[in-house]
Structure 1
Amino acid sequence: MSKAPAAILNVAFEQASVSLSTPIIVIPEIAAKVDYVSRYVGNRAVVRLLLACSLAATHRPDVDIRQPYTEINLPTSYSGRNYDESYITGFINQHRLPCNPTTAFLTPALRNRNTTLTPSINLVGRPPKLYQAALELLDDVYEGRITPSELLAETVRCLLLARNEKEQRMETLLADLKKTDGAIPLAAEEIVTLIEQHLRCRGSSRLPVLIVAAAYEAAKSYLGERFLPLAAHNAADEQTGALGDVEIALIDDDLVITSYEMKTRRVTTQDIDRALQKINSTGKRVDNYIFITTDAIEEPVREYAASMYDSTGGIEIVILDCISFLRHFLHLFHRLRSQFLEAYQELLLAEGESAVSQPLKEAFLALRQAAESCREL
Structure 2
Amino acid sequence: MTPEEILEKIQCLATENLNASVITESKIRERVDYVCRCMSNRAGVRLLMSCLLGKLDKPHVDPRKPYTEIGGADSFSGRTYDERYLTKFINEHRLPVNPTTAFLTPTLRNIDHPLTTDRELVGRPRDLYKKTLELLEDVALQRIKADVLFVETVRVLILLRDEKQARMASLLSALERTEGALPLASEAIVTLISQHLACKNASRLPVLVVAAAYEVAGARLSESMLPLNSHNAADLQTGSLGDVEICLIGDDSVVTAYEMKMKRVTQGDIDVAVAKIVRYPNKIQNYLFITTDVIDPIVAEYATTLYEKMDGTEIFILDCIGFLRHFLHLFHRIRTDYLNAYQTFVLNEPDSAISQTLKEAFLALRQAAESDE
TM range (shorter): over 0.9
Corresponding residue for residue 71 of structure 1 = 69
Corresponding residue for residue 333 of structure 2 = 335
Deviation at 1:283, TM superposition (A): 4.6
Deviation at 1:109, TM superposition (A): 0.5
Counterpart Cα distance in 2 of 1:47 and 1:158:
11
Corresponding residue for residue 115 of structure 2 = 117
Corresponding residue for residue 218 of structure 1 = 216
Corresponding residue for residue 134 of structure 2 = 136
Alignment TM-score, normalising by the size of structure 2: 0.99
Deviation at 1:139, TM superposition (A): 0.4
Contact 1:66-1:142 at 8 Å conserved across structures: yes
**Which string of whole-angstrom CA distances, capped at 9 and with x for unpartnered residues, describes residues 191-244 of structure 1?**
000001000101000000000000111112211112110001000000110011
SS at match of 1:308: coil
Corresponding residue for residue 11 of structure 2 = 13
User: 142-151 or 185-194: which moved more?
Assistant: 142-151
Counterpart check, 1:202 vs 2:192: no
Q: What does 1:1-377 align with in structure 2 at a 5 Å threshold?
A: 3-283=1-281, 285-375=283-373
Specify whether residues 91 and 284 from structure 1 end up closer, same or farther in structure 2 by C-alpha distance, changes over 3 A only.
Answer: farther
Q: How many residues align?
A: 373
CA RMSD of aligned residues (A): 0.8
SS at match of 2:257: strand
Structure 2 unpaired stretches of 5+:
none
Alignment TM-score, normalising by the size of structure 1: 0.98
SS at match of 1:180: coil
Deviation at 1:152, TM superposition (A): 1.1
**Which string of whole-angstrom CA distances, capped at 9 and with x for unpartnered residues, describes residues 80-127 of structure 1?**
000000000000000000001100000000010010001121110100
Contact 2:253-2:283 at 8 Å conserved across structures: no
SS at match of 2:91: helix
Give the aligned residue type for 1:367: L
Structure 1 unpaired stretches of 5+:
none
Specify whether residues 343 and 74 from structure 1 end up closer, same or farther in structure 2 by C-alpha distance, changes over 3 A only.
Answer: same
Deviation at 1:45, TM superposition (A): 1.6
SS at match of 1:171: helix
SS at match of 1:310: coil
Contact 2:168-2:360 at 8 Å conserved across structures: yes
Counterpart Cα distance in 2 of 1:345 and 1:306:
34
Counterpart Cα distance in 1 of 2:161 and 2:281:
44
